[in-house]
Amino acid sequence: RAERVAKALEVGPQGLDLATRLALLSDPVALSRLHEQVWAQHNAAWIDVWRASISNDPHAPLLPLHPENQGQPTLAGA
């Protein structure tokens, strides 16, 4: 698992073979670790592909990377 994540970080999304890509997508823990490390390391290869995917899909919802503080949600009837 750690080796797959390290390889994915090193080669970027374009450098992954189909088997490794499928293994990452099928392993929620590895995918979560990859996601965390991409953002923690500001991995340009992955972030650039993500940004390009947004511009290629005009219907993609854009959520702020740093949501505004909207306070704590409340429970109904509490």
- The 3 state secondary structure assigned to 16-63 is CCHHHHHHHHCCHHHHHHHHHHHHHCCCHHHHHHHHHHHHHCCCCCCC
Cα R_g (the chain), whole angstroms:
16
* C-alpha 43, offset from chain centre: 11
pLDDT tens digit sequence for 20-57: 999 999 999 999 999 999 999 999 999 898 888 877 77
Q: Are the C-beta atoms of 46 and 13 separated by less than 8 Å?
A: yes
pLDDT band for position 62 (cuts 50, 70, 90) = low
Q: Residue 8: what pLDDT?
A: 94
Mean per-residue pLDDT over the chain, rounded: 84
φ, ψ dihedrals at 77, nearest 5°: 80, 5
